[in-house]
Amino acid sequence: MALQRLTFHVTDRCQLNCDHCLRDPETKAKDLDLSLIESVLDQAKALFESTHVGLTGGEPALHPRFYEIVDAIVDRGYTWHVVSNGERFDRMLQRLEERPARLQGLKMLNFSLDGATPETHDAIREQGSFRSVMQAVSLCRARSIPFLLQITLNARNVDEIEEIALLAGQLGADKLAYNFTQPTGTFLDAALHLPASEWKRAMDRINRVRDVFKVSVIHSEVGPHEEPFHMCEMWRQEHLHVDPSGNLNLCCQHAGIPNAGPLSDIAGNLHEMSLGQAHREFTKIVHHTIEARLELLAEPGLNEWDKHFSCNWCLKRFGKPHWTEEGVAGPNAMRARWRGRWTPGYKESHLRSGALHLPVLSSDDRSDGAE
Ligand code: SF4
Ligand code: SF4
């Protein structure tokens, strides 16, 4: 068992406004401090001899000091990967190519793709975003940069599991990752919800895809697990996650999600304590969570969600929005949808009217999310 990677959620800024997004758009986007990232990188190297860093967001490249973050990573001998929506990837690539070390340390570009067709993908994300991903993928292919396509499955795209795998193969993806949508706590969950039996069917189909297609297929922790006692990589202490405020928290699925319960998923703020101290607190949270899981599994007559969806149970335990057979439960986030033309109520009114398609953004509109 070893700490295999650190993940920094570097910013909440994003050009898009996907229906399943877990950011809280009501609050001003936060950016993780570069100096904190540098300090954590040094500490993780000294404490754990860590070697790999993941960058997520928001759209990580919108962090005002993104390229300095990349330099801090590669200059300390880490490899890295980044999760991107593919918007203006040409600009990101140009900046990465300014310093060979940036691309040399890059292990993978993870692009989000939520449908096998522009219609499905753009309806969940934004009009024109499918095309952005296709352009980004072509640029990666042209430069032999490895890329992964990651799909967040929900009721609106679950029918396309096989088509997406076919597309990933045609595009030359190095990996294909199926994620399972986590509830946002907003009205948008109603259109994303699937009952437990449908998730399990989706998992069977993913397993068949893995057997049939050449592309390497992985799936996220969120989906169903055959074994009721599943140790995720956080519980195994192989992965630490830092949110944009500098908190070491349980995992990315908990970060910034409204919490109605007494338990906190935050081990500590790295502005106020060392990585070693925060890690000790993290270990206590993990220990209590595993203990609670074992207690639960000893109970008779568990429902499917509690028995086979350990992440969903984990979110429920910490008082966060979680799926049930009927829909979503837990605190209602009721997040206003904002940013530019994404004014509060805009999507809601479109959902009510059945018109999910949003206006096409010009390239200027989607050039950056900086405020
Ligand atoms: S790409 Fe979509 S899901 Fe990702 S941060 Fe932006 S709005 Fe949220
Ligand atoms: S939600 Fe809980 S069980 Fe799932 S990956 Fe995060 S820490 Fe692990």
Answer whether residue 344 shows pLDDT above 70: no
Which residue is closest in CA terms to ligand 1's atom 4? 58
Three-point CA angle 189, 338, 249, nearest 5°: 65
- Taking the centre of ligand 2 as the mean of its atom positions, its distance from the CA of residue 122, in whole angstroms, is 28
**Closest ligand relative to 312 C-alpha:** 2
pLDDT tens digits, 268-299: 999 999 999 999 999 999 999 999 999 999 99
Q: Residue 355, Cα to own-chain centre: how many angstroms?
A: 27
Q: What is the pTM of this model?
A: 0.85
- Taking the centre of ligand 1 as the mean of its atom positions, its distance from the CA of residue 57, in whole angstroms, is 8
- Residues in Cβ contact with 221 at an 8 Å cutoff, skipping those fewer than 6 apart: 230, 232, 233, 251, 253, 310, 311
Selected residue with higher pLDDT from 226 and 104:
104
What single-letter amino acid sits at 11? T
Answer whether residue 332 shows pLDDT above 80: no
For tokens 């650190």, what's the residue? 6
pLDDT tens digits, 139-185: 999 999 999 999 999 999 999 999 999 999 999 999 999 999 999 88
**Closest ligand relative to 29 C-alpha:** 1
Q: CA 368, CA 371: separation in Å to the nearest integer?
A: 9
Ligand 2 proximal residues by C-beta, below 6 Å: 221, 232, 234-235, 250-251, 253, 310-311, 314-315
Which residue is closest in CA terms to ligand 1's atom 3? 21
- Taking the centre of ligand 2 as the mean of its atom positions, its distance from the CA of residue 273, in whole angstroms, is 23
- pLDDT value at position 351? 47
Confidence category of residue 334, pLDDT binned at 50, 70, 90: low
Confidence category of residue 1, pLDDT binned at 50, 70, 90: low
Residue 168, token pair as written in the block: 């990933």
- Taking the centre of ligand 2 as the mean of its atom positions, its distance from the CA of residue 294, in whole angstroms, is 15
Answer whether residue 82 shows pLDDT above 90: yes
Q: CA 240, CA 329: separation in Å to the nearest integer?
A: 27
Selected residue with higher pLDDT from 75 and 321:
75
Q: Which of 124, 210, 183, 212 is nearest to 309 (CA)?
A: 183
Q: CA 112, CA 57: separation in Å to the nearest integer?
A: 12
**Closest ligand relative to 110 C-alpha:** 1
- Residues in Cβ contact with 322 at an 8 Å cutoff, skipping those fewer than 6 apart: 183, 305, 312, 313, 315, 316, 328, 329, 330
CATH numbers and ranges of domains, the chain: 5-14+23-353 (3.20.20.70)
β-partners of residue 84 are 111
Mean pLDDT, to the nearest integer, of 232-253?
Answer: 95
Mean pLDDT, to the nearest integer, of 179-205?
Answer: 92
